[in-house]
Amino acid sequence: MITVHHLENSRSQRVLWLLEELGEPYEVVRYERDPKTMLAPETLKAVHPLGKSPVITDDGDGARVTVAETGAIIEYLTQSAGGRLGAPMADQPESPASREALRRYRFFLHYAEGSLMPPLLIKLVLGKIPLIGKQAQARIQPMIDVHLDYVESELASRAWFAGDEFSAADVIMSFPLEAAAERAGLEETRPATAAWLERIHARPAYRAALASGGPYAYA
């Protein structure tokens, strides 16, 4: 059984969503943020030394496996599910189309946290600093806009990030783009990305994950 150690209003919502999409059974252990610092509680360190969320534990084979980091968790879960929602066309004959879909899948699996999320996080932190923070926010926004324009150009040509079918690449891209819609002006001039957000929010598995996970500010 998979146990998701789930922190409210956090990246771990994506793990619940992926499990719902895969139809895999799981349990949720919920953690609340410190109301003053908004950080994860110290009790998460008993699960993984970093004390961060998301993290899962899997007791399915008798020996407990602990997996942290969203990308690593996504790869673990899709592989455990026989490749479902994982790398597209992995079981198809080698072709230019399959190679391109696989390249896009791998790119967005790393891009979400490696490139897109950091400037959004910086903007959030700067917003909590009086006066000078708001001035600095204005300087970080053009960096965010480069990313959001890039994402818009990608989604303008296809329905989902890796190709014509929904995949785990869409799951991992959800958190930064929901954050961008909340505080970085994503929906103002980017209709393809706004439409993508509407599509994921309408998915039954997404709604089921919200019911399972509890408070999530970006839903």
Q: What is the pLDDT of residues 117-167, one digit of tens each?
A: 999 999 888 877 777 777 788 889 999 999 999 999 999 999 999 998 999
Q: How far is CA 80 from the centre of its chain?
A: 19
Residues 76 and 100 in one domain: no
Query: CA–CA separation, 108 vs 118, rounded Å?
Result: 14
Q: Is the pLDDT of residue 53 over 70?
A: yes
The CATH number given to whatever domain includes residue 160 is 1.20.1050.10
Residues 153 and 81 in one domain: no
pLDDT tens sequence across 185-207: 898 789 999 999 999 999 999 99
pLDDT of residue 152: 98
Residues 21 and 47 in one domain: yes
Residues 71 and 130 in one domain: no
Query: CA–CA separation, 31 vs 51, rounded Å?
Result: 11
Residues 138 and 59 in one domain: no
Angle formed at CA 21 by CA 161 and CA 176, multiple of 5 degrees = 45
Inter-residue long-range contacts of 75-83, CB under 8 Å, 24+ positions, other chains counted: 75/109, 77/2, 77/15, 77/18, 77/19, 77/22, 77/24, 77/168, 78/18, 78/22, 78/168, 80/24, 81/22, 81/24
Domain that holds residue 123: 96-203
Residue 26 covered by a domain: yes
Residue 218 covered by a domain: no
pTM: predicted TM-score of the whole model, two decimal places: 0.92
Residue 91 covered by a domain: no
Least confident piece of the model among 30-44, 107-121, 166-180: 30-44
Residues 193 and 102 in one domain: yes
Residues 100 and 60 in one domain: no
Other beta carbons within 10 Å of 136: 16
Residues 81 and 100 in one domain: no
Residue 193 covered by a domain: yes
Q: Is the pLDDT of residue 6 over 70?
A: yes
Residues 17 and 61 in one domain: yes
20: which 2 tokens? 């719902």
Residue 36's pLDDT band, with cuts at 50, 70 and 90, is confident
pLDDT of residue 219: 65
Residue 126 covered by a domain: yes
Q: Bigger pLDDT: 199 or 98?
A: 199
Q: Considering the chain, what percentage of its residues have pLDDT values greater than 70? A: 96
Contact 8, 31 (CB under 8 A): yes
Residue 92's pLDDT band, with cuts at 50, 70 and 90, is low
Residues 100 and 198 in one domain: yes
Residues 142 and 80 in one domain: no
Least confident piece of the model among 19-28, 36-45, 139-148: 36-45
125: which 2 tokens? 């932190």
pLDDT of residue 110: 97
> What's the structural domain count of the chain?
2
Residue 54's pLDDT band, with cuts at 50, 70 and 90, is very high
pLDDT of residue 93: 58
> What secondary structure letter does DSSP report for 69?
S
Residues whose CB falls within 8 Å of the CB of residue 41, separated by 6 or more in sequence, listed in order: 31, 32, 33, 34
